[in-house]
């Protein structure tokens, strides 16, 4: 029952990411940076919803891998499978409607081609940077003392990773589905994205924990 709960929650989180990613593509196809910026901010609605409903998102959970028992790895595996399943299913459903027009497919294809032509280490580095941004969004929302701060943390790091082109393994599944691109290299690239997301999230989390421990020692 535990893993069924995680899978269903992860599936719903994947849906939320599709809403944000699709809105970003719709805005970005309008051809102005202002609307691209708006789209990147609207993308944050996906994570904001995930946080407030306590849904399972791989990039929001992986930072705490070292804080948990080894069995947590299985939780993360079920989580990312659920996330990707949710993204692919909803993306395919939306692709069958008029909302996903030729312009959106062309932009998604352009984004995917750019990713596929990157070197493996670029994917890993950009995935790590995205992991840092997602951690800041999730943990920042958690620790911010005021409502306005919680909202800013939930939205601004997301906007930043979108505009910078950092690699988010779950969101990218939406772009790849719209573009209709799939191959062995795509699978490898998604593994690198997932590892990068984990690396960035875990490193920033552990670094902040170390700072707190050093502060406590200094106070003694």
Averaged pLDDT for residues 174-198? 97
Distance CA 185, CA 88 (A): 18
pTM for this model (two decimals): 0.94
Distance CA 59, CA 79 (A): 10
pLDDT digits (tens, 9 = 90+) for 147-160: 999 999 999 999 99
Distance CA 151, CA 156 (A): 9
- For position 220, what pLDDT does the model report? 65
- Domains, the chain: 2-219 (1.20.1080.10)
Question: 132 — alpha (psi -120 to 50), left (phi > 0) or beta?
Answer: alpha
Burial class (CB in 10 A: 0-12, 13-18, 19+), 133: buried
């Amino acid at each position: 029952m535990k893993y069924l709960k995680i899978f269903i929650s992860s599936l719903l989180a994947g849906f939320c990411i599709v809403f944000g990613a699709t809105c970003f593509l719709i805005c970005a196809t309008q051809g102005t940076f202002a609307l691209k910026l708006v789209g990147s901010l609207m993308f944050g609605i996906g994570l904001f919803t995930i946080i407030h409903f306590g849904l399972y998102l791989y990039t929001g959970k992986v930072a705490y891998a070292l804080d948990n028992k080894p069995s947590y790895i299985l939780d993360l595996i079920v989580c990312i499978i659920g996330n990707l399943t949710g993204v692919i299913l909803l993306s395919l459903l939306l692709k069958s409607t008029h909302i996903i027009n030729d312009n959106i497919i062309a932009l998604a294809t352009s984004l995917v081609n750019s990713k596929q032509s990157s070197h493996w280490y670029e994917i890993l580095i950009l995935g790590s940077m995205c992991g840092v941004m997602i951690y800041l969004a999730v943990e920042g929302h958690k620790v911010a003392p005021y409502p306005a701060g919680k909202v800013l943390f939930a939205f601004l790091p997301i906007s930043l990773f979108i505009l910078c082109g950092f690699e988010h393994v779950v969101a990218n599944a939406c772009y790849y589905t719209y573009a209709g691109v799939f191959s062995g290299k795509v699978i490898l690239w998604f593994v690198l994205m997932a590892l990068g997301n984990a690396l960035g999230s875990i490193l920033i989390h552990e670094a902040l924990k170390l700072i707190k421990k050093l502060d406590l020692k200094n106070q003694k």
